[in-house]
């Protein structure tokens, strides 16, 4: 009997907030999806909510953040420009800034309160260690520490990796930390360059030109890959600190809603 009562009570509790349009837990759940980086899930959930219940500012904002993270920008930017909420302006300024749309970014940043402007400028300066140190002064002291750890986590120079690979195909990959990629790059480049030279010596110019074209693709691809591997390695090593900084300085961008 007690079990039946318990089940009925649980069912009653579960159905009490069954209507998502009035359930106060729906918005925090949507926010949690964005926080957990389940962007496609968040976008689909937000779309359902907006169709079913009409627009709410919080849902629109979270949907726009999810779409920005998914690189589905045009709708998100258009929606953010019509949102006109403090959090919406911060996300919009961040989106324009990282989208290299400096004129639009400046317009929005001017509307923000001074501390938010400073936070945005500091995050924008993050790739440059000295500029970040200057921009982060006066902000939360943890930001400077996180910035230092972010820069200390940078392990490889993409430019150096690219130059190495240009001098000796494969050496940039080796520097970036991949023996397999280095070996494959070296062997493939060696084969194609060797074939081009041999064919040209035999005066088979058409075939040599074809081999040379393929060789040039593998040569340039190898340089790009060496720089890319170094950049990826840095990004993966630095990402936890960048995320922490973003959460500290601009929590709205991560999907954290204000009170």
Partner 1 sequence: MRALALVALTACLPPVARDAANAIDPRYRMNRPAQSTVVDIYRSAGANAPSRCKMVPTDSQAFAMRAETCGGMRAWIWGVSRLFLEQANSSRFTHAIRLDDRLRWIDLPGPCA
Residues of this chain that interact with partner 1 (CB under 8 A) are: 36-41, 43, 68-73, 94-95, 97-100, 102, 105-106, 109, 121, 124-125, 127-128, 131, 135, 173, 176-178, 180-181, 183-185, 217-218, 220-222, 224-225, 228-229, 232-233, 235-236
CB closer to partner 1, 4 vs 65: 65
Q: How far is the CB of 210 from partner 1 (least distance, A)?
A: 14
Q: How far is the CB of 218 from partner 1 (least distance, A)?
A: 6
Cα distances (angstroms) measured from residue 19 to each of 23, 26, 59, 186, 249: 6, 10, 16, 62, 35
Contacts of 258 (CB under 8 A, 6+ apart): 86, 87, 251, 252
Nearer CB in complex with partner 1: 8/183: 183
**Least distance in angstroms from the C-beta of 8 to partner 1:** 35
Nearer to partner 1, 107 or 204 (CB): 107
Q: How far is the CB of 227 from partner 1 (least distance, A)?
A: 9
Smaller CB separation from partner 1, 41 or 79: 41
CB of 75 to partner 1, least distance (A): 12
Nearer of residues 59 and 218 to partner 1, judged by Cβ: 218
């Amino acid at each position: 009997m007690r079990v039946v009562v318990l089940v009925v009570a649980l069912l009653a509790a579960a159905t009490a907030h069954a209507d998502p349009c009035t359930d106060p837990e729906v918005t925090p759940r949507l926010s949690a999806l964005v926080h957990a980086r389940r962007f496609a899930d968040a976008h689909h959930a937000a779309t359902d909510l907006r169709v079913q219940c009409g627009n709410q500012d919080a849902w629109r904002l979270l949907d726009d953040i999810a779409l920005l993270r998914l690189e589905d920008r045009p709708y998100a930017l258009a929606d953010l420009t019509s949102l006109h909420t403090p959090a919406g302006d911060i996300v919009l300024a961040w989106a324009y800034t990282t989208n290299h749309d400096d004129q639009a970014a400046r317009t929005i940043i001017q509307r923000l309160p001074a501390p938010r402007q400073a936070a945005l400028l500091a995050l924008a300066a993050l790739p440059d260690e000295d500029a970040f140190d200057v921009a982060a002064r006066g902000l939360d002291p943890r930001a400077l520490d996180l910035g230092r750890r972010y820069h200390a986590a940078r392990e490889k120079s993409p430019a150096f990796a690219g130059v190495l690979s240009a001098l000796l195909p494969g050496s940039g990959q080796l520097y970036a930390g991949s023996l397999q990629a280095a070996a494959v790059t070296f062997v493939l480049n060696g084969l194609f360059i060797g074939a081009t030279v041999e064919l040209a010596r035999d005066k088979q110019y058409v075939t040599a030109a074809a081999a040379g074209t393929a060789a040039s693709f593998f040569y340039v691809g190898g340089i790009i890959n060496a720089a890319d591997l170094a950049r990826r390695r840095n990004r993966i090593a630095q990402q936890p600190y960048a995320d922490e900084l973003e959460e500290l300085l601009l929590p709205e961008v991560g999907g954290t809603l204000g009170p």
